[in-house]
């Protein structure tokens, strides 16, 4: 989608939020990611763009899935990867986030991939280091590579993003996935409907670029080209948010019957890990419209693309 006569250059130091990206940036990342994905499918290793580089995976929250995806992506590009699940680290010893950042920076990595429980924690850290910082999820704020991999998966399934109707359903309030994916899809021209129980909807979701926010899943799913279900944190179940899993599934679970309300060729997505029988009926998760495992595949590819674009810029 490069404009003739317009010379595009990816010009970012970090990847902190979808908000920082232009439409051209996203197209560029997705195009590159798709090349990586096709290479992997063909059994080919990409060039070792990150040879002799060091990537630190700094995860303040457990996520085997996301951490492994980044680790595989970085190693495929030839990087050394230092895994730091910091549940049991200096952080417990009372060290501040800033001190952790400055300590790691002094070890001269080329990129740091960070997941942190505080919204804005990753941005704070990025200001203290000389290398690329990639946000792998900060609080309820952003998870930009998830937004990018969702967008790529949809683009591959539908051939475009522009003009698509996408419905995202679940715990929108606590979801950095919903926020990042909505922003990316909106920027590329999709019409996003957010849906969930009133207690789990944020107040300002229109600022993410969502067209609508509904509490009625039947209305929200109508004619959708893409239906993305969010993971329900089971700890929300026993509190003030929700009455019961059974009632949640009845109102907000994706079933075969409900899917009939969507467009006939609607694509089904879920960022994982799934609670089968709570957010989504098992048969639908495994059905032919599901691209849930392709999301995982595109996750590695998108991370390869982002790592390639951001590494090698150490100040």
| Residue ranges at the known binding site for carbamoyl phosphate | 65-66, 115, 143, 146, 272-273
Decide if residue 69 touches its own copies (CB under 8 A): yes
Token pair, residue 67, equals 């951490």
Decide if residue 117 touches its own copies (CB under 8 A): no
Catalytic residue status for 103: no
Of 218, 157, 154, 213, residue with least CA distance to 188: 154
Distance of CA 244 to the CA centre of its chain: 27
Give whichever of 3 and 42 is closer to its own copies, judged by the CB atom: 42
Catalytic residue status for 160: no
| C-alpha to C-alpha distance for 93 and 111, rounded to whole angstroms | 24
Give whichever of 23 and 44 is closer to its own copies, judged by the CB atom: 44
Active-site annotation holder among 28, 115, 116, 179? 115
DSSP state for residue 3 in the 8-state scheme? P
Q: Hey, is 88 helix, strand or coil?
A: helix
Q: How far is CA 54 from CA 57, 80, 273, 277, in A?
A: 10, 5, 29, 41
Site for its own copies in 265-294 (CB under 8 A): 272-276, 293-294
Give whichever of 49 and 314 is closer to its own copies, judged by the CB atom: 314
- Interface residue with its own copies among 10, 12, 40, 156 (CB under 8 A) is 40
Which residues sit in the known binding site?
65-66, 93, 115, 143, 146, 176, 231, 272-273
Give yes or no for a contact between 76 and 304, defined as CB atoms under 8 angstroms apart.
Answer: yes
Give yes or no for a contact between 218 and 258, defined as CB atoms under 8 angstroms apart.
Answer: yes
Give yes or no for a contact between 267 and 157, defined as CB atoms under 8 angstroms apart.
Answer: yes
Q: How many residues bind its own copies (CB under 8 A)?
A: 56
Annotated catalytic residues are 65-66, 93, 115, 143
Footprint of its own copies on this chain (CB under 8 A)?
Answer: 40-41, 43, 45, 52, 54, 56, 62-65, 68-69, 71-72, 75-76, 80, 82-90, 93-96, 99-100, 102-109, 231, 234, 272-276, 293-297, 299-300, 314
């Amino acid at each position: 989608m490069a404009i003739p006569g317009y010379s595009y250059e990816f010009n970012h130091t970090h990847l902190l939020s979808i908000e920082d990206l232009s439409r051209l940036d996203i197209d560029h990342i997705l195009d590159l990611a798709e090349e990586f994905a096709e290479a992997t499918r063909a059994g080919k290793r990409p060039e070792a763009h990150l040879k002799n580089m060091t990537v630190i995976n700094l995860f303040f929250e457990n996520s085997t899935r996301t951490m492994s995806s980044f680790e595989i992506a970085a190693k495929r590009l030839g990087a050394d990867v230092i895994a730091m699940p910091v549940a049991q680290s200096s952080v417990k010893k009372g060290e501040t986030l800033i001190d952790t950042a400055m300590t790691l920076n002094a070890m001269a990595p080329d990129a740091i991939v960070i997941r942190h429980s505080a919204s804005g924690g990753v941005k704070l850290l990025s200001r203290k280091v000389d290398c690329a910082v990639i946000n792998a999820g900060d609080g309820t704020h952003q998870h930009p590579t998830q937004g990018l991999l969702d967008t790529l998966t949809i683009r591959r399934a539908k051939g475009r993003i522009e003009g698509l109707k996408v419905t995202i359903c679940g715990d929108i309030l606590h979801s950095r996935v919903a926020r990042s994916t909505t922003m990316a899809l909106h920027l590329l021209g999709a019409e996003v409907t957010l849906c969930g129980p009133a207690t789990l909807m944020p107040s300002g979701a229109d600022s993410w670029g969502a067209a609508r926010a509904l509490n009625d899943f039947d209305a929200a799913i109508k004619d959708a080209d893409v239906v993305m279900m969010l993971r329900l944190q089971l700890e929300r179940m026993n509190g003030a948010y929700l009455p019961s899993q059974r009632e949640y599934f009845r109102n907000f679970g994706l079933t075969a019957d409900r899917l009939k309300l969507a467009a006939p060729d609607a694509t089904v997505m879920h960022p994982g890990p799934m609670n089968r029988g709570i957010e989504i009926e098992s048969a639908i998760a495994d059905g032919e419209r599901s691209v849930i495992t392709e999301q995982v595949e595109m996750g590695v590819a998108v991370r390869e693309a982002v790592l390639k674009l951001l590494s090698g810029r150490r100040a």
